[in-house]
Structure 1
Amino acid sequence: MCELDKKLSAIKVVPVIAINDATKAVKLAQVLMENGLPCAEITFRTSAAVEAIQRIRDAYPDMLIGAGTVLTTHQVDQAIEAGVDFIVSPGFNPTTVKYCQQRNIAIVPGVNNPSLVEQAMEMGLTTLKFFPAEPSGGVGMLKALSAVYPVSFMPTGGVKPSNVKDYLALPNVVACGGTWMIPNNLIDNEQWDELAKLVQEVAGVIQ
């Protein structure tokens, strides 16, 4: 098992966050760290992503930080310079994968069918994002894929409290990505106590 897989499997759930205001990133990271989820996937869906990653990295050097929704090599450069530990993409783009490999940064690209899994394996990847998880067949599809392919998955998309344990019970799932414990409105309104409760609930479920 690679180092990233070890860290992900220990954390089990990766909060996927689209942050609108980078000045709130450190407080958000503090909530995650202090309540049992020492990890964040900051998505490039907002213009605040790069600054948010930089602020979190400066404040919490040991936190596991990913950059999500990475679509271009330029975003890979931005993410690396901001201090991420790994890259996540929604789909499988060979150009992005090759560039990450050239820059020696781990990438977890999105796949949702056997052909994409084989293309990823051809490029030496063994940890893949299963996205969108529920619309792509969910637990049943992952069971079918695990019977054929020696790879690990991080399912994201439709994962929620009612099914997260079903995903984590699969031997080929290293961790799950989720947004339910980090609602944007709570971040925007700085409702840190409410966020802490949601994070604690997740941490309690996955123990």
Structure 2
Amino acid sequence: MSNELLDLSPVMPVVVLDQVADAVPVARALLAGGIRVIELTLRTPVALAAIERVAAEVPEIVVGAGTVTTPEQAKQAADAGAKFLVTPGCTDSVLEAVVGTGLPFLPGAGTVSEAMRLAEQGLTALKFFPAEPSGGVPFLKAIAGPLPGLRFCPTGGITPETAPAYLALPSVGCVGGSWLTPKDALAAKDFERVTALAREAAALR
């Protein structure tokens, strides 16, 4: 199931919301641009409420919770209606809690050892984070030989300009991107701009 997350869209929007009221318009704007998935990060106090809103009011989009860093957050996100979970890294307790929710998830790995450890657990769909600081495209090319069974959603520092190089790799299913929902666009309630950016992102593959 987790592997299917990588096939929903060439770009998985990584969205930070400061206003709950923006959640539904942002989700609808992304959908209008052809993006079928949204990762709402648990970096702000309104994130769980935003997930609830999107899950209830925009069921056509697959809403997930990102930046899951504690066992408690995993349960809270599942209770809020998240359809998948994303972690920036993976401790034993977080992995156990995420697995316990029964939801598909993308566990974060930034090194070969972390990727190998997750592969030992039978996990083959991973988040590569932080992608650019951790070696980017050359890193993923280098580990494809020894770890051929893994697929990634690289996230962190990726731009519309660099995304195609990632997407060209056989081991990359999608990339995570925060550029689809710029802070200034959200502040101005410019959801048409979000749709335009989503349309460009959906055409990347």
Distance 1:62 1:194 in 2: 20
Residue in 1 aligned with 2:80?
Answer: 82
- Over aligned residues, Cα RMSD in angstroms? 1.2
- How far residue 33 of structure 1 moved from its aligned partner, in angstroms, is 0.7
Kindly tell me: are residues 16 and 79 of structure 1, through their superposed partners in 2, closer, same or farther at Cα, counting changes over 3 Å? same
Residue in 1 aligned with 2:177?
Answer: 178
Runs of 4+ in 1 over 3 A off after TM superposition: none
- How far residue 159 of structure 1 moved from its aligned partner, in angstroms, is 1.0
Kindly tell me: are residues 159 and 190 of structure 1, through their superposed partners in 2, closer, same or farther at Cα, counting changes over 3 Å? same
The equivalences for 1:25-64 within 5 A come to: 25-64=23-62
Residue in 2 aligned with 1:201?
Answer: 200
Partner of 2:7, secondary structure, is: helix
Partner amino acid for 1:102? G
The equivalences for 1:1-207 within 5 A come to: 3-149=1-147, 150-206=149-205
Task: Decide which moves more: 70-79 or 183-192.
Answer: 183-192
Task: Decide which moves more: 100-109 or 64-73.
Answer: 100-109
- How far residue 72 of structure 1 moved from its aligned partner, in angstroms, is 0.7
Higher relative contact order (CA 8 A, sep 6+): 2
Partner of 2:107, secondary structure, is: strand
CA contact (8 A) 2:10 2:201 kept: no
Structure 2 residues not aligned, in runs of 5+: none
Distance 2:103 2:95 in 1: 10
Distance 2:120 2:5 in 1: 24
CA-to-aligned-CA distance 1:114-137 (integer Å, 9 cap, x gap): 110111112221111111111111
Partner amino acid for 1:19? L
Partner of 1:145, secondary structure, is: helix
Distance 1:56 1:23 in 2: 10
Partner amino acid for 1:161? P
Instruction: Give the structure-1-normalised TM-score.
Output: 0.94
Partner amino acid for 1:6? E
- How far residue 106 of structure 1 moved from its aligned partner, in angstroms, is 2.0
Structure 1 residues not aligned, in runs of 5+: none
CA contact (8 A) 1:43 1:69 kept: yes
Partner of 2:106, secondary structure, is: strand
Equivalent residues, number: 204
Instruction: Give the structure-2-normalised TM-score.
Output: 0.95
CA contact (8 A) 1:43 1:68 kept: yes
